[in-house]
Amino acid sequence: MPTKGKYKFFLLNLGCPKNLVDSENLSLELMKMGLSSSSNPDQADFIIVNTCGFIEEARKMSLDYSRKLSSYGKKVIVFGCLPKRIGVENVKKLVGADFVLKDKEDVVNLLSLNLQKNGSAKWRDLNLNQKSNLPPRLNTLSPFSAYIKLSEGCSRNCSFCSIPLIRGKIKSRSEEEILNEIKYLSSEAGVREFILISQDTTMWGVDLGKKREELFNLLDKISNIDGVEWIRLFYVYPDNFAEKLVKYISSNPKVVRYIEMPFQHADDEILRAMGRATTETTINKIMDKVKEILPDLEIRTEIIVGFPGETEEKFEKLLRFIEKYRFSWLGVFSFSPEFGTTAFDLWKKNRVSKRIVERRKKELMKLWTKILLEKQEERVGKVFRCINQGDGKFRTYFQAPEIDGEVILKKSNVFSGSFEHSFYDIKILGFDGPDLIGGEPIPSIR
């Protein structure tokens, strides 16, 4: 919802859904200052890059995009996880940006204070603190779906993870703030699916003195908000609490039968070296509980291959684990040695060669691809309730945005542009890899 501000900004978001929420909030703050957004960097007065710094591959991508955008001849601001991870001065040396900052608040302060006072007349003319009818929250994901951030940071001690180094310990949002945001998005913006995100969703509120079970009360209150139809949970930590959560999900029909639960590995020795607060026994108990009370729960998990000390025997155990539980969605990542983490020191002493890591990664994905195709075949001929993503695209309950495939219409050229409802019933006619091919959508009224 751009304002009529004289100056325009282009904001490139890189990284995870949490970064997207940060970018949405930053865009809103800049619009309140009188600036308007542009989808074209050529037409913007300044360019902002919200970076990712989680692993080496993400840092390289952030640097590449920042360098490319710095060549446009505009004022360029680079901020976010990359400078937090490797330092502001290091980013300045690597990227030809005008400004390198850590937080989105720094970007707002820079434009509202420094540029107004010390910049050229072009910058001094910014209409700061402009009154407007802007909403309390922007949502750019899709017309009927939005990410809701429950907390920031993480207090776990996973040996491979740099998140605590980048974002610090967990800082939960208040229940009131979360509920008010959802109420607005539901009543005023028409959002019907709310995807709850954080670094560790099952620890929400613990830093505020709450018990972990308070998450269930929060989910109950979200479920009772008018207009809320789907609640989707990301990052469910696989410890003993996950069993309680599975039981809770079975009792709340508005929580979709889908969770993202990163197991990372299936061998006790590797899990201990990873600093994971779980074991093979605990993981098996969670999966047994799923099979017992919620057999239709679709699980996305993530696995790291090539962690220091991963032998062929341990990798074979990981293969058997994936084959046994046949996860609906799987992300396989090569171990990334992150400086400053405990696992970085382990890697220097006992690394797995890149050649072996790549071979294991391909072998694991080959196994899971076979599982995926078998699951897709089982879905053909069935009718699923699907949420409208706009532009003639849909997702059903076992498909999260951007990572789990979509429902694509077989004759999208005939039906495209005629979808106004939030949900449709669609019969699956076939599939193409992770995507399902659907027939004519029928409005789903419930």
Predicted confidence (pLDDT) per residue in 144-192, tens digit: 999 999 999 999 999 999 999 999 999 999 999 999 999 999 999 999 9
Predicted confidence (pLDDT) per residue in 229-243, tens digit: 999 999 999 999 999
Q: What value does the mean pLDDT take over residues 370-378?
A: 97
Nearest Cα to Cα of residue 80 among 104, 108, 47, 56: 104
pLDDT at 96 over 90: no
Q: Please, are residues 5 and 34 in contact by the beta-carbon 8 Å criterion?
A: yes
Q: What value does the mean pLDDT take over residues 346-373?
A: 96
Long-range contacts formed by 94-99: CB under 8 A, 24+ apart: 94/63, 94/67, 95/63, 95/66, 95/67, 95/70, 96/67, 96/70, 96/71, 97/49, 97/66, 97/70, 99/75
Predicted confidence (pLDDT) per residue in 196-226, tens digit: 999 999 999 999 999 999 999 999 999 999 9
Query: How many whole angstroms separate alpha carbon 154 and alpha carbon 144?
Result: 29
Distance of CA 274 to the CA centre of its chain: 22
Q: Which amino acid is at 195?
A: I
The per-residue pLDDT for 111 is: 86
Residue with token string 């900052």: 101
Predicted confidence (pLDDT) per residue in 307-329, tens digit: 999 999 999 999 999 999 999 99
Query: How many whole angstroms separate alpha carbon 206 and alpha carbon 163?
Result: 18
Per CATH, 8-124 and 383-443 having the same topology is answered no
The H or E element containing residue 413 is helix 412-415
Q: Please, are residues 267 and 317 in contact by the beta-carbon 8 Å criterion?
A: yes
Indicate the pLDDT class of residue 115, thresholds 50, 70 and 90. low
Query: How many whole angstroms separate alpha carbon 178 and alpha carbon 176?
Result: 5
pLDDT at 415 over 60: no
Fold of 383-443: OB fold (Dihydrolipoamide Acetyltransferase, E2P) (2.40.50)
Nearest Cα to Cα of residue 203 among 171, 247, 180: 171
Q: What are phi and psi of 440, to 5 degrees?
A: -65, 130
Residue with token string 């889908």: 258
CATH number attached to the domain at 145-379: 3.80.30.20
The per-residue pLDDT for 392 is: 83
Q: What value does the mean pLDDT take over residues 84-112?
A: 91
Query: How many whole angstroms separate alpha carbon 408 and alpha carbon 424?
Result: 13
Indicate the pLDDT class of residue 420, thresholds 50, 70 and 90. confident
Nearest Cα to Cα of residue 276 among 337, 215, 342, 323: 342
Predicted confidence (pLDDT) per residue in 252-277, tens digit: 999 999 999 999 999 999 999 999 99
Q: What value does the mean pLDDT take over residues 84-98?
A: 92
As a whole-number percent, the residues of the chain with pLDDT over 70 amount to 92
Q: What are phi and psi of 17, to 5 degrees?
A: -60, -30
SS3 441: coil
Where are the domains positioned within the chain? 8-124, 145-379, 383-443
Indicate the pLDDT class of residue 117, thresholds 50, 70 and 90. low
SS3 402: coil
CATH number attached to the domain at 8-124: 3.40.50.12160
SS3 305: strand
The H or E element containing residue 146 is strand 145-149
